[in-house]
Amino acid sequence: MKKHLLISSLALAAATGAASAQEACSSYEIQRGDSLRELAIEVYATEDFRIIFDANRDVIGSNPNIIRVGDVLELPCLEDVGRAPVLADTEAERLAAEMAAELVKAAEERAEKAVAEAEARVAAAEAEAKKASEDAVVAARAAAKEEIEAARAEAAALIRNAGTGERPEIRDRQLLLITGGNYAPFTDESLPNRGLYTHLVETAMFRAAPEQAYKIQFVNDWSSHLDLLMPTLAFDATFPWSRPNCEEAVALSEDDRNRCETYNFSNPFYEVVDTFFAREGSGYEETLTYADFAGATICRPEGWSLSHMDAVSLYEPVIKLLRPTSPDDCFHALMEGTADIVAIEAHLAAEAIERLGYKHRIIENPNLAAIKSLNVMTHKDNPDGEAILETLNQGLAIMQQSGEWRDIVSTALRHQMENG
């Protein structure tokens, strides 16, 4: 029996090889390191690997995630997959096709522009922050808020002007999703499948709507997702974010109330443990009640939800809140004495503490912790937002019932344990 090497058709091509130049209307023998997605990009200039999968189900089988070295695939002609120009039967059909294409192109252009502007804004803000006074910072934030509101209104107007009945259905356009890196094991472009959570979202989309085109953009400035990119409707969804207890809005911080009022949430794709860390010997690492934190300075990175702290009355002026841009900054502040406690996810803290050389010097409080869900969010002004979440929820349910969710999670966590 001929032995075959199994390779994931959705993963990036391995370093040992890549698809050689191919053309439509030809045959191709699978090589080590190939993937259906890479072939689709090479031949058809699209990531939609289903063009090849649908034409070769008798060779590939029922599982599009597995292709075999040595198998020969037929690459359909451009005309057969709708990639070649086709004359519309009527003038109305031609206009509709052109409008759909223009809307997709406009969405991609807005997304690219929004990302570039956000990155430029962050760089400029970092440079100016060193010399800006407190009044200047306040004024800059107010100006940025006004720009965000104006951009949001402009984007909403563009959508309204597209006309009801002429706007493509979500299945007829490419969805644009945004996430960020440096959040192992959940999201990072260097991780297998770009992270555990990214893999879950992509699989849910494929299980519920395999024909749906989408693109996932990484922007590592997490706060810009909610402050700049999502409000302009340049992106359809963002992940992963925690859902505050929106049913108890009175007890939430202003940021969390705004999150509840502005965004819709998917069902939880994963849950993490949020807990507290302190210097060894400080006493905070072994206290039994939240009341003992009164008067302490608690550090939690900017953009992270405060809902679990609000729920136990850990808000200003009961405590002093420190909000730098990254978890590493919080741990440095703890060791430098400018913070007493770090409030952060347990799995992320363990990796950071060891990497920063603070092992045995920063201790987790085992008595005070909260379970937090991680969700996909869509902006309430996005007319397709609820349909996108419904699709993802359907895919998640399929994965959970089949056991695929558990397999993805266990594989990712095992990789994290073995590779750090």
For the chain, give every domain's residue range.
6-81, 94-236+382-419, 270-374
Taken as a whole, the chain contains a residue count of: 420
> In CATH, what number does 6-81 get?
3.10.350
Same topology between domain 94-236+382-419 and domain 270-374: yes
Question: Coil, helix or strand for 290?
Answer: helix
143: left (phi over 0), alpha (psi -120 to 50) or beta: alpha
Cβ-based neighbours of 64, under 8 Å, separated by 6 or more: 9, 10, 36, 49, 50, 53
How far, in Å, CA of 90 to CA of 382, rounded? 31
Residue written as token pair 């302009």: 232
User: What are the distances in angstroms from CA 2 to CA 5, 31, 173, 369?
Assistant: 10, 15, 42, 54
Q: What is the pLDDT of residue 159?
A: 47
Interstrand relation of 175-179 and 237-241 (parallel, antiparallel or unpaired): parallel
User: What are the distances in angstroms from CA 356 to CA 68, 137, 173, 297, 413?
Assistant: 43, 31, 44, 21, 21
Is residue 211 exposed (0-12), middle (13-18) or buried (19+ Cβ within 10 Å)? exposed
How far, in Å, CA of 105 to CA of 293, rounded? 52
Helix (H) or strand (E) holding 374: strand 362-379
How far, in Å, CA of 379 to CA of 232, rounded? 9
How far, in Å, CA of 137 to CA of 224, rounded? 17
Buried residues in 329-346 as b, exposed as e (16+ CB within 10 A) = bbbbbbeeeebbbbbbbe
Q: What is the pLDDT of residue 165?
A: 44
Find out whether 229 and 235 touch, Cβ atoms under 8 Å: yes
Q: What is the pLDDT of residue 14?
A: 33
Q: What is the CB neighbour count within 10 angstroms for residue 116?
A: 10
Helix 134-161, helix 91-129: angle, nearest 10: 180
Interstrand relation of 297-299 and 341-345 (parallel, antiparallel or unpaired): parallel
How far, in Å, CA of 87 to CA of 89, rounded? 6
Phi, psi dihedral angles at 145 (to 5 degrees): -60, -40
How far, in Å, CA of 157 to CA of 154, rounded? 5
Token pair listed for 339: 């913070």
- Partnered with residue 386 across adjacent β-strands are none
Give me the CATH topology for the region 94-236+382-419: D-Maltodextrin-Binding Protein; domain 2 (3.40.190)
Residue written as token pair 């002007």: 161
pLDDT tens for the chain, 420 residues long, are 333 433 333 333 333 334 445 788 999 999 988 888 888 888 888 878 888 988 999 998 877 778 889 999 999 988 777 666 545 556 666 665 666 567 667 766 776 787 777 777 777 777 776 665 666 667 766 776 676 566 555 655 554 454 444 445 666 789 999 999 888 889 999 999 999 999 999 999 999 999 899 999 998 888 888 888 899 888 999 999 989 888 888 878 888 889 999 999 999 999 988 899 999 999 999 999 999 999 999 999 887 778 778 878 888 899 999 999 888 999 999 999 999 999 988 878 888 898 899 999 999 998 988 888 999 999 999 999 999 999 999 999 999 999 999 999 888 888 877 775
Domain 270-374 part of CATH 3.40.190.10: yes
Residue written as token pair 């406009």: 106
